[in-house]
Structures are given as structure tokens and as C-alpha cells.
């Protein structure tokens, strides 16, 4: 058996093995069946080629081989058409290119061309040279058309993944076809090595791999790596050739091999890096640009402490890369929490502004959950999930995927990445999009963006730490100032008050004078309150306090306040008797409650319902608020007042911010400081015209008193009114 026959036999076995392997896979669809038929046809054709050299009775074999050759481009045309996926008809945003009419025309043309050839092959003239030439032209022509069509359909699909895949497949297919046809030159006497057969098997293998998953960009990378390896091999062969030509011929082979090896070993690493850089630059230009833009961004971000500067760097860097058409950065809203839960607000964007500038926890749960769990959400992947869910008839999954798709579309995300805080909670969303193509981002690019999002997390965390330090410095300065103030203002104030009181006590004053003295005394008292509050705000807080019974503190506060309330005010106190302890100074907690209750009563103008509730929350709130292993203790102060406008809400905890004529604007600022130094937070939920709920959330110090009794839990579920005062 000669080399050609041996190679043909070997390739036949491999092609048949590949055909079988595809049929053995879990999901066999029309595409897999078509592929298996095509691979089997190729395998059998090679088998017939191998046997032609061995058997003596050739007539039947040659006919069989010719029939297989007629079939081959027929199958190729249909297989290649099936490779380019039809766009999902369910998704509203993209226009769907339809290839159906061209495909039908191509298939009809192929069938028409095959009919006369089949007739010729079965006729007695099948061995005629003209028939052979006709067969050759038909096979070469139709295969070429099929490959060209594959690449054209891929290009028209608008999906980068499909373009890359089809271009690669068409190129390898064309190589295999050209070399297979060249093999036939041997019939004319040319002695070429049977490269075509080997390339055909490579093509079949690549094709079979490409049917395995929908996302085939790795094929492109495979090509890239092959390219790098080939270039490297040539460079090394070149070095070896230099040694052979300069040091001597093959009689000094051993010496040459040693010298060349040393040179190669020394040069290999830098050479590899250079070759890789050049091939990437030439063949993967866009990614190369993105990589270098990301590198520059990372370097610049390493020195940034302000979130605003960070956004500017990211926007500028992405614009430079020209890899995307739009990008956006959403950051978690700081401070008060709205009724819709945590919200992420658009901070900066590049290109078109996203349709939605605010992502609310309440309405975007699906998106936020996906980002928390997987850190990345890619719109095209969700699209695929949707069509899989539709195939599987899973209504829940369909609804979920659709919802996720809409949310991603709303924020203009081809891909969205989680920006996580220190404790893994979501602090922002980084969004990129390339609306020029579908499947815009390769896995490597996605990883690159993910890395960038990771660095944004670091910058945000650092900026927060920096803000805390700044705040501490500010407070230290304020403390020193307040101490001075106490000395400079409080003492003269005392003197003024004393003098005014003396004046007031003097007999026989005109009533006008008395009124003025009254004003002096009132205003002195007010000034005194302001100065005391400033001192209070600036006083350092001791952290080591014993755990206390929060219910007790609430009860006492309500007792003190009860007599001062007017009629028309309904007060409800619901205490969770199974409340764990919390570490906080009871005096300070009372001060906080006092502030919250007074604000609530004032907001309602003395008419409405005030409820004070305590609860044990077993798990951390979704907004990432405090909790210990025992959960959190919550004290809620709810009113039925007018609610808080967005403008006021933003400044709620800012010292000296007040909307009241006689307010100090320090009540909430001090309350927040107290609760934060106890490791907790104050949460605000408000709705215009409905009311406001302030919640003090403190980490629970221990397990609730009756943690073991599940029955208790049931009893406790309906919170019991502890007392109702007022009308
Ligand atoms: P002050 O009470 O001295 O104004 P605070 O810091 O306690 O200072 O409150 C700041 C502002 O927050 C108030 O002036 C008020 O506008 C607003 N506010 C606080 N609590 C409520 C509430 N329950 N309902 C409506 N507005 C409120």
C-alpha cells in the first residue's frame, strides 16, 4: 500500500470516528445529524480511495466513490446553512436578518446541478474523462459556493461570535478543499504529499468542536495560538538554519544542534513575547487596544481617592479604546434608604445615556441578584438562556430571562459587572455596550472588564476609608472648637442670663421692658441649647459599654414623653418581648429615641399616629446593613406625617440642616453618630403624604431569650401592643 492509500485509510477511520462521536453526544439535533452525514460521507469517500489502490474489481468501487463525491457538496451546502443560527424571533430590540430565501435558492441550485451528474455516474459512460472533469468542477465549484455562502451569512448575522466562527470555519474549509483538489494533481503525475486529506480531518474536527457550544470565540483564540506557534516555529527553524549555513553542513549536525539550542533557549522567552504581541496587534487589533487602554486606566486608578475622578478616568479610558459604543457607571445611593430599597444611581456615562438612570432594589431584584451571584450579566447570554428556556417550555425560567433581558436593555448593558464592597455587597454597577454587533464581547474581554470592575471596587472602598478619615479629622477639629466655644460662649451666656434674670425680678418695670427681658432670656436659653448640642455632637464616644435591654430604654423614653403629648395623637408601642440585648449606652439610646419621637410628633403637627416598635431581625437586610451572628435589633419610629422630600432627605443627617424656624439641625446628626459608634445604622423610609419610618438597626449582642422554643416564635409573630396612650 502506498503513502496515499495509507493516508486515505487513516483519514477514513478518523472521519467515521468523528461522525460517530457527534451522534453520541447528549443533544442531537438536525445540525448534528447533518454533520454526521457529511463526516460519514467524507470518511466513506476516503475509504473508497484507499480501496481503489488495493482491490482488483474496481468498477463498483469507482461508482460508489463517485456517488459519494456527488453527495459531498450537497451535504456541505445544507450543513453550512444550518451553522449560522437564526436570530431569536422573541426579542423585540434587534432586527432579525433572514437568510431563508437565499438558502432555499442555494439548495435548489445544488440539487439541480447534482441530478445530471447522478445520471452520468450510473450510466455506462461514468469512467469517461469528461465525466471525471465534470465531477471535479461540480465538487470544487459547489463546495466553494457553500463555503463562500457560510462566510457571507456569518458576516450578515451581525454577531461577532458568529462572524469570527464562520470566517474561521470558511478559511479552514477552503484550505482543506484546495489541498484535497490539489491531491488529484497526482493523477496527472505530480507527486505531492497528501496534505489535503489531513487538512480535511482537521476541518472536520474543528467543525465538530464548533457544534458543541453556542459561544465559539475560543475557536478564534485557537487560531490565534496556532498562529503564534507557527510564527515561533518559523523563527526557531530560522535560527537553526543560520547555524547550519554558517557553522557548517549536516556533518557537524550535533554541534549545530547544541549551539542552536543554546541560542533558542536564550531567545525563546523574549521572542515568544514579541511574536505574541505582534500577532495580537495585527490580527486582534481591537482587543489589543482594549488591553492597553485597560492597562493605562489601571495605572491611573491606582492613585485615585475620589469617586468623581475615578468615573472621569474610566470614561476617558474607554473612549480612547474605541472598543465600545457606550458605557455607564451606577453607584449605590448613600444615606437614607427609599421605600423601594437600595438604589443605584447613574454617576457617569459615555455615549448614549441609558434609558434608565436609577436601578431600584425593589423593581430590579432579578438583575441585582444575578450580579451578586455571578458578578457578570451578559445580554447575549441571557438571550440564549431565554431561547433554551423556551425550548424546554420552562415558563418560570422564560419569565426570569425575559425580565433580566429587559433590565439589562434598560440600563444600556451589553454586559453589566458588579462592583462589590469589602463585605461583598453590591456598591455599584459597571455597564458596557457595543451596539455595532451582537455577541460583542469575547470571554477574554469580559474578564478584562471584570478586572476593571474589581479595581473600581477598590477605589470606592479606598475613597470611603479616606472620607472616614477626613470626617474623623473634621470632628476632631470640631471637638477642639467646641471646647473653646464652651469656654468662650457658655460663660458669658451664664452671665447674661444671670443679669437678665436680675432685671426681670426688679419691681416696677414697664411691661414693654419686661417683654424685652423675656426675649433675652428665651434666646439665651436657645443659644445655650445650641452650644450644648455642638458639644454633644463633638464629644468622643466610648465604645465599651455593657449590653442593655433595648425594650427597657424604649419604655422609659415613652413614659417620659407621654404626659407632654397633645390630644389627637395616637401612640402605639409594640415591643418584641423576645428581643436580644444590644451594646449601646442606655442614656444615649434614650437621646436618639427622644430625637426621633420629637421629630415625628412635630412633623405630624400633633395629630396622627405614632408607633414605636421593636423587632429582632434574624438575617441582615438586603441593603447590606448591620447584623451580627445573632441578627439585629431594630427600633422603628413611624409617623403618619407628610413624609420627607427628596431634597430634605439628602441632607437629613447633615449637621445644622433644619427646616424648622427654631430647630438646631443637630438632632439627627447626633443620633446618627451615637448609633454608628454602637456599630449600627439609622435607616429611613418615607413616602409623601403617607409618613416616615426611622429605624435604628443595632447588631444583636446575644441570642434572643427563648431562642430554643419554636412555639414561642409562633406566639411572638403577631407583635403585641404594649400600651396605647392618647386619644
Ligand atoms: P431639627 O429637628 O432641629 O430640625 P433634625 O436633625 O432632628 O433637626 O432634623 C432635620 C430635619 O429633618 C428637620 O428639620 C425636618 O425637616 C426633617 N425631619 C426629621 N424627622 C422628620 C419626620 N419624622 N418627618 C418629616 N421630616 C422630618
| Whether the CB of 611 sits within 6 Å of ligand 1 | no
Cα 289 to Cα 233: distance, rounded to the nearest angstrom: 26
Give Dmax (Cα) for the chain. 146
Q: Which of 598, 601, 668, 670 to mutate to test the pocket of ligand 1 (most atoms within 8 A of CB)?
A: 668
Among 158, 191, 212, the domain boundary falls at: 212
| Whether the CB of 600 sits within 6 Å of ligand 1 | yes
Q: What is the pLDDT of residue 187?
A: 62
The DSSP bridge pattern shows strands 569-574 and 608-617 to be parallel
Q: Quick one: 350 and 483 in the same domain?
A: no
Residue 471's nearest CA partner among 676, 626, 274 is 676
Residue 302 pLDDT grade (very low, low, confident, very high; cuts 50, 70, 90): confident
Is 170 part of any domain? yes
Q: Which helix (H) or strand (E) holds 240?
A: helix 217-247
Other Cβ atoms closer than 10 A to 322: 11
Q: Quick one: 261 and 351 in the same domain?
A: no
Cell representation of residue 250: 549536516
Mean pLDDT value of segment 37-60: 86
Q: Please check the confidence at residue 341 and state whether its pLDDT lies above 70.
A: no
Q: What is the pLDDT of residue 503?
A: 87
Is 292 part of any domain? no
Any idea what the CATH number is for the domain that residue 333 is in? 3.30.450.40
| Whether the CB of 648 sits within 6 Å of ligand 1 | yes
Mean pLDDT value of segment 469-479: 75
| Whether the CB of 706 sits within 6 Å of ligand 1 | no
Q: Which atom of ligand 1 is nearest to the CA of 668?
A: 6
Cα of 652 vs centre of ligand 1, distance in Å, is 7
- Residues 6 or more apart whose CB falls under 8 angstroms from that of 180 comprise 196, 197, 199, 200
Report the phi/psi class of residue 344: left, alpha or beta, with left for phi > 0 and alpha for psi in -120 to 50.
Answer: beta
Atom 18 in ligand 1: residue holding the nearest Cα: 599
Buried b (16+ CB within 10 A) or exposed e, 247-269: eeeeeeeeebeebbeeeeeeeee
Q: Quick one: 446 and 529 in the same domain?
A: no
Residue 217 pLDDT grade (very low, low, confident, very high; cuts 50, 70, 90): very low
Cα of 64 vs centre of ligand 1, distance in Å, is 93
pLDDT digits (tens, 9 = 90+) for 620-669: 554 555 667 788 999 999 999 999 998 899 889 888 888 988 788 888 98
List 328's β-bridge partners, or say none.
349, 431
Among 461, 479, 495, the domain boundary falls at: 461
Q: Please check the confidence at residue 377 and state whether its pLDDT lies above 90.
A: yes
Residue 709 pLDDT grade (very low, low, confident, very high; cuts 50, 70, 90): very low
Is residue 331 classed as helix, strand or coil in its secondary structure? strand
Buried b (16+ CB within 10 A) or exposed e, 288-312: bebbebbeebeebbeebeebeebbe
| Whether the CB of 660 sits within 6 Å of ligand 1 | yes
- Residues 6 or more apart whose CB falls under 8 angstroms from that of 199 comprise 172, 175, 176, 179, 180
Q: Which atom of ligand 1 is nearest to the CA of 641?
A: 24
pLDDT digits (tens, 9 = 90+) for 224-283: 666 666 677 777 777 777 777 776 665 666 777 777 777 777 877 777 777 777 766 666
Q: Quick one: 70 and 116 in the same domain?
A: yes
- Residues 6 or more apart whose CB falls under 8 angstroms from that of 22 comprise 28, 32, 35, 36, 39, 208, 211
Cα 260 to Cα 546: distance, rounded to the nearest angstrom: 77
Domain that holds residue 480: 467-538
Cell representation of residue 3: 503513502
Whether the Cβ atoms of residue 418 and residue 369 lie closer than 8 Å to each other: no
Atom 11 in ligand 1: residue holding the nearest Cα: 658
Q: What is the pLDDT of residue 305?
A: 85
Cα of 538 vs centre of ligand 1, distance in Å, is 20
Any idea what the CATH number is for the domain that residue 681 is in? 3.30.565.10
Mean pLDDT value of segment 299-306: 87
Alpha helices in 284-332 (DSSP H): 285-301, 307-321
Any idea what the CATH number is for the domain that residue 149 is in? 1.20.1070
* pTM metric for this prediction: 0.48
Is 191 part of any domain? yes
Least confident of 140-149, 306-315, 480-489, 622-631: 622-631
What average pLDDT does the chain have? 81
State what percent of residues in the chain have pLDDT above 70: 83
CA distances 166 to 82, 98, 110, 173, 571, Å, are 11, 17, 21, 10, 72
Unique residue bearing C-alpha cell 437565499: 102
Whether the Cβ atoms of residue 384 and residue 214 lie closer than 8 Å to each other: yes
Any idea what the CATH number is for the domain that residue 500 is in? 1.10.287
Cα of 577 vs centre of ligand 1, distance in Å, is 30
Residue 380's nearest CA partner among 36, 77, 85 is 85
Q: Which atom of ligand 1 is nearest to the CA of 691?
A: 24
Q: Quick one: 345 and 208 in the same domain?
A: no
Whether the Cβ atoms of residue 325 and residue 481 lie closer than 8 Å to each other: no
Cα of 485 vs centre of ligand 1, distance in Å, is 25
| Whether the CB of 652 sits within 6 Å of ligand 1 | yes
Is 93 part of any domain? no
Cα 418 to Cα 706: distance, rounded to the nearest angstrom: 39
Burial class (CB in 10 A: 0-12, 13-18, 19+), 563: exposed
| Whether the CB of 663 sits within 6 Å of ligand 1 | yes
Report the phi/psi class of residue 582: left, alpha or beta, with left for phi > 0 and alpha for psi in -120 to 50.
Answer: beta
Cell representation of residue 377: 450579566
Mean pLDDT value of segment 70-93: 74
Is 229 part of any domain? yes
Cell representation of residue 2: 502506498
Cell representation of residue 383: 438571550
Cα of 441 vs centre of ligand 1, distance in Å, is 49
Cα of 658 vs centre of ligand 1, distance in Å, is 6
Q: What is the pLDDT of residue 684?
A: 93
| Whether the CB of 692 sits within 6 Å of ligand 1 | yes
Q: Please check the confidence at residue 172 and state whether its pLDDT lies above 70.
A: yes
Sign of CA dihedral 437, 439, 441, 446: positive
Q: Which helix (H) or strand (E) holds 476?
A: helix 443-485
Q: How far is CA 373 from the centre of its chain?
A: 9
Q: Which of 600, 658, 689, 696 to mutate to test the pocket of ligand 1 (most atoms within 8 A of CB)?
A: 658
Q: Which atom of ligand 1 is nearest to the CA of 598?
A: 2
Is 152 part of any domain? yes
Q: What is the pLDDT of residue 595?
A: 92
Cα of 673 vs centre of ligand 1, distance in Å, is 16
Q: What is the pLDDT of residue 726?
A: 37
Q: Quick one: 188 and 240 in the same domain?
A: no
Cell representation of residue 495: 452671665
Atom 13 in ligand 1: residue holding the nearest Cα: 658
| Whether the CB of 664 sits within 6 Å of ligand 1 | yes
Q: What is the pLDDT of residue 505?
A: 84
| Whether the CB of 644 sits within 6 Å of ligand 1 | yes
Other Cβ atoms closer than 10 A to 650: 15
Q: Quick one: 311 and 347 in the same domain?
A: yes
Atom 12 in ligand 1: residue holding the nearest Cα: 652
CA distances 184 to 40, 178, 694, Å, are 21, 10, 86
Residue 727 pLDDT grade (very low, low, confident, very high; cuts 50, 70, 90): very low
Q: Quick one: 311 and 188 in the same domain?
A: no
Q: Please check the confidence at residue 214 and state whether its pLDDT lies above 60.
A: no
Atom 8 in ligand 1: residue holding the nearest Cα: 665
Among 519, 538, 557, the domain boundary falls at: 538
Cα of 641 vs centre of ligand 1, distance in Å, is 11
Whether the Cβ atoms of residue 96 and residue 87 lie closer than 8 Å to each other: yes
CA distances 60 to 1, 13, 71, 165, 588, Å, are 20, 21, 17, 39, 102
Tell me, letter by letter, the H, E, C secondary structure of 129-187: HHHHHHHHHHHHHHHHHHHHHHHHHHHHCCEHHHHHHHHHHHHHHHHHHHHHHHHHHHH
Q: Which atom of ligand 1 is nearest to the CA of 694?
A: 23
Cα of 610 vs centre of ligand 1, distance in Å, is 15
Q: What is the pLDDT of residue 74?
A: 93
Q: Which atom of ligand 1 is nearest to the CA of 639?
A: 23
Cα of 713 vs centre of ligand 1, distance in Å, is 36
The DSSP bridge pattern shows strands 632-639 and 547-548 to be unpaired
Mean pLDDT value of segment 426-448: 83
Q: Which atom of ligand 1 is nearest to the CA of 664?
A: 3
Cα 546 to Cα 565: distance, rounded to the nearest angstrom: 32
Q: Quick one: 514 and 648 in the same domain?
A: no
Q: Which of 593, 599, 695 to mutate to test the pocket of ligand 1 (most atoms within 8 A of CB)?
A: 599
Q: Quick one: 557 and 639 in the same domain?
A: yes
Domain count, the chain: 5
Residue 215 pLDDT grade (very low, low, confident, very high; cuts 50, 70, 90): very low
Atom 21 in ligand 1: residue holding the nearest Cα: 599
Burial class (CB in 10 A: 0-12, 13-18, 19+), 651: middle
Is 186 part of any domain? yes
Q: What is the pLDDT of residue 716?
A: 42
Q: Quick one: 177 and 198 in the same domain?
A: yes
Residue 92 pLDDT grade (very low, low, confident, very high; cuts 50, 70, 90): very low
Is 140 part of any domain? yes
Q: Quick one: 264 and 310 in the same domain?
A: no
569-574, strands of its sheet edge to edge = 681-687, 691-699, 632-639, 608-617, 569-574, 721-726
| Whether the CB of 641 sits within 6 Å of ligand 1 | yes
Amino acid at each position: 500500500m502506498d503513502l496515499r492509500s495509507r493516508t486515505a485509510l487513516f483519514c477514513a477511520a478518523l472521519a467515521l470516528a468523528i461522525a460517530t462521536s457527534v451522534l453520541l453526544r447528549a443533544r442531537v439535533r438536525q445540525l448534528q445529524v447533518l454533520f454526521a452525514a457529511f463526516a460519514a460521507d467524507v470518511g466513506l469517500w476516503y475509504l473508497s480511495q484507499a480501496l481503489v489502490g488495493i482491490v482488483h474489481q474496481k468498477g463498483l468501487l469507482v461508482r460508489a466513490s463517485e456517488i459519494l463525491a456527488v453527495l459531498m457538496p450537497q451535504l456541505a451546502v445544507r450543513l453550512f446553512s444550518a451553522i449560522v443560527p437564526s436570530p431569536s424571533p422573541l426579542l423585540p430590540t434587534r432586527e432579525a436578518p433572514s437568510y431563508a430565501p437565499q438558502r432555499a435558492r442555494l439548495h435548489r441550485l445544488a440539487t439541480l446541478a447534482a441530478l445530471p451528474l447522478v445520471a452520468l455516474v450510473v450510466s455506462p459512460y461514468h469512467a469517461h474523462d469528461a465525466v471525471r472533469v465534470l465531477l471535479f468542477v461540480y465538487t470544487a465549484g459547489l463546495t466553494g459556493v457553500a463555503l463562500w455562502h457560510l462566510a457571507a451569512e456569518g458576516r450578515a448575522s451581525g454577531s461577532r461570535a458568529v462572524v469570527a466562527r464562520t470566517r474561521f470555519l470558511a478559511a479552514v474549509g477552503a484550505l482543506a478543499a484546495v489541498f484535497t483538489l490539489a491531491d488529484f494533481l497526482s493523477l496527472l503525475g505530480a507527486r505531492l504529499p497528501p496534505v489535503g486529506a489531513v487538512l480535511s480531518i482537521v476541518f472536520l474536527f474543528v467543525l465538530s468542536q464548533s457544534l458543541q457550544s453556542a459561544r465559539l470565540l475560543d475557536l478564534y483564540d485557537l487560531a490565534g495560538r496556532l498562529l503564534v506557534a507557527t510564527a515561533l516555529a518559523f523563527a526557531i527553524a530560522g535560527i537553526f538554519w543560520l547555524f547550519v549555513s554558517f557553522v557548517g553542513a549536516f556533518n557537524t549536525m550535533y554541534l549545530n544542534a547544541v549551539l542552536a539550542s543554546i541560542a533558542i533557549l536564550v531567545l525563546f522567552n523574549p521572542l515568544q513575547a514579541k511574536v505574541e504581541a505582534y500577532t495580537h496587534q495585527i490580527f486582534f487589533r481591537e482587543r489589543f487596544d482594549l488591553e492597553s487602554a485597560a492597562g493605562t486606566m489601571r495605572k491611573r486608578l491606582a492613585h485615585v481617592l475620589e469617586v468623581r475622578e475615578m468615573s472621569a478616568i474610566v470614561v476617558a479610558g474607554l473612549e480612547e479604546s474605541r472598543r465600545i459604543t457606550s458605557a455607564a457607571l451606577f453607584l449605590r445611593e448613600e444615606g437614607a434608604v427609599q421605600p423601594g430599597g437600595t438604589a443605584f444611581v447613574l454617576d457617569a456615562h459615555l455615549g448614549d445615556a441609558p434609558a434608565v438612570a436609577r436601578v431600584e432594589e425593589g423593581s430590579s431584584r432579578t438583575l441585582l441578584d444575578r450580579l451578586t451571584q455571578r458578578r457578570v450579566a451578559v445580554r447575549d447570554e441571557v438571550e440564549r438562556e431565554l431561547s433554551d428556556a423556551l425550548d424546554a417550555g420552562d415558563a418560570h425560567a422564560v419569565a426570569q430571562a425575559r425580565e433580566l433581558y429587559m433590565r439589562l436593555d434598560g440600563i444600556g448593558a451589553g454586559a453589566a459587572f458588579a462592583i462589590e464592597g469589602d463585605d461583598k455587597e453590591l456598591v455599584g454597577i459597571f455597564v458596557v455596550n457595543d451596539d455595532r454587533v451582537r455577541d460583542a464581547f469575547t470571554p477574554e474581554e469580559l474578564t478584562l472588564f471584570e478586572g476593571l470592575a474589581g479595581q473600581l471596587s477598590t477605589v470606592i472602598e479606598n475613597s470611603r476609608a479616606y472620607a472616614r478619615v477626613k470626617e474623623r479629622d473634621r470632628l476632631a477639629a470640631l471637638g477642639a472648637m467646641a471646647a473653646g466655644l464652651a469656654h468662650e460662649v457658655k460663660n458669658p451666656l451664664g452671665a447674661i442670663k444671670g443679669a437678665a434674670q436680675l432685671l426681670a425680678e426688679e419691681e416696677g418695670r414697664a411691661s414693654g421692658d419686661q417683654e424685652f427681658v423675656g426675649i433675652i432670656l428665651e434666646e439665651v436659653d436657645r443659644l445655650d441649647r445650641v452650644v450644648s448640642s455642638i458639644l454633644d455632637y463633638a464629644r468622643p464616644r466610648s465604645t465599651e459599654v455593657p449590653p442593655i435591654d433595648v425594650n427597657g430604654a424604649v419604655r422609659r423614653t415613652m413614659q417620659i414623653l407621654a404626659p407632654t403629648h397633645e390630644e389627637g395623637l395616637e401612640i402605639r408601642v409594640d415591643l418584641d418581648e423576645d428581643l436580644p440585648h444590644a451594646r449601646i449606652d442606655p442614656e444615649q439610646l434614650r437621646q436618639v429615641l427622644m430625637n426621633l419621637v420629637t421629630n415625628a410628633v412635630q412633623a405630624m403637627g400633633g395629630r396622627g399616629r405614632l408607633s414605636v416598635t421593636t423587632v429582632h431581625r434574624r438575617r441582615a437586610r438586603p441593603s447590606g446593613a448591620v447584623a451580627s451572628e445573632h441578627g439585629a435589633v431594630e427600633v422603628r419610629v413611624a409617623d403618619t406625617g407628610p413624609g420627607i422630600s427628596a431634597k430634605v432627605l439628602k441632607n437629613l443627617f447633615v449637621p445644622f440642616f433644619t427646616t424648622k424656624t427654631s430647630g438646631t439641625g443637630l438632632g439627627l446628626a447626633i443620633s446618627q453618630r451615637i448609633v454608628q459608634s454602637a456599630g449600627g445604622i439609622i435607616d429611613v423610609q418615607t413616602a409623601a403624604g403617607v409618613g416616615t419610618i426611622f429605624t435604628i438597626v443595632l447588631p444583636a449582642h446575644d441570642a434572643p431569650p427563648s431562642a430554643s422554643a419554636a412555639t414561642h416564635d409562633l406566639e411572638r409573630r403577631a407583635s403585641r401592643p404594649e400600651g396605647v396612650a392618647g386619644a
